[in-house]
Chains A and B, each alone.
Chain A
């Protein structure tokens, strides 16, 4: 009997140090009923950065905060907002940092877009001699 009781107690083990005792926000892990809206929300979630884990998108992260953000994104899109409206709502609060799609015309992020083009042009310029026929041949 005692063995049975201890087994029973073991089977009831619950996470002691869980970060929060609350169930996740309503739409944290539940898809929207409209598949088109769900796809739009999903695409946006892939491009929003988790505030807690910072190197993951909110679609990837298990942090409670990311769940709350997913729920917020789905609820706003279900209410008729466009993904770009939701993104700018978040950028207004957390800066461009929160989005994985940095703007082209911003003092800090434009080099991200221009640098590859400049590097490619520089490489072509450096390599231009290689494409010429060597002098004295023929």
Chain B
């Protein structure tokens, strides 16, 4: 038997040990990115979530101007955290449309009264139909959509202060 073969079990064990160590040390990645980025917005039409704003359909998202599509819910705490950033984006002249996920009109109205309403249109998605169609897996999520209705970017989680510049840049590029 060749001498070097004696070392093979140790080498195999070393490889196994390294694989386990890497798996344990790498932080768990829970983010599921939508595969719809780069594709056109799927067709949908959602009724109005609150009286003050009209409902939202996919044709509203391809009117020649880049827009943001924010998926939020009144029961979602990070959505409160991102509310000031959405207000700032709206003040900067960005058109923001929204999908309210699994929510009631009363709760949405309370949420908007309390944390501000930066939205032009809000559609209500009570059974997550549209959310599944765009490949979103939670709230809050924000999609950047160009003027032709193509999804160019997906922001997962709440929008922080430091994300605003990047979103504005993406909206500018989408023109």
Contacts and interface: CB of A to CB of B under 8 A. Distances in A.
Q: Report whether over half of chain B's contact residues are helix, strand or loop; otherwise say mixed.
A: loop
A93 B133 contact: yes
Interface stretch (B48-56, B134-142, B162-170): B134-142
Contacts, number: 62
Interface in A1-45: 18-22, 25-26
Contact of A68 (B36, B103, B132): B132
A19 B127 contact: no
Interface residues of B, number: 23
A94 B32 contact: yes
B138 A65 contact: yes
18 contacts: A19-B75, A20-B73, A20-B75, A22-B102, A22-B103, A25-B128, A26-B127, A54-B30, A65-B128, A65-B138, A68-B102, A68-B127, A68-B128, A72-B127, A94-B32, A94-B35, A94-B135, A95-B32
Interface of A: 18-22, 25-26, 51-52, 54, 64-65, 68-69, 71-72, 90, 92-95, 97-98
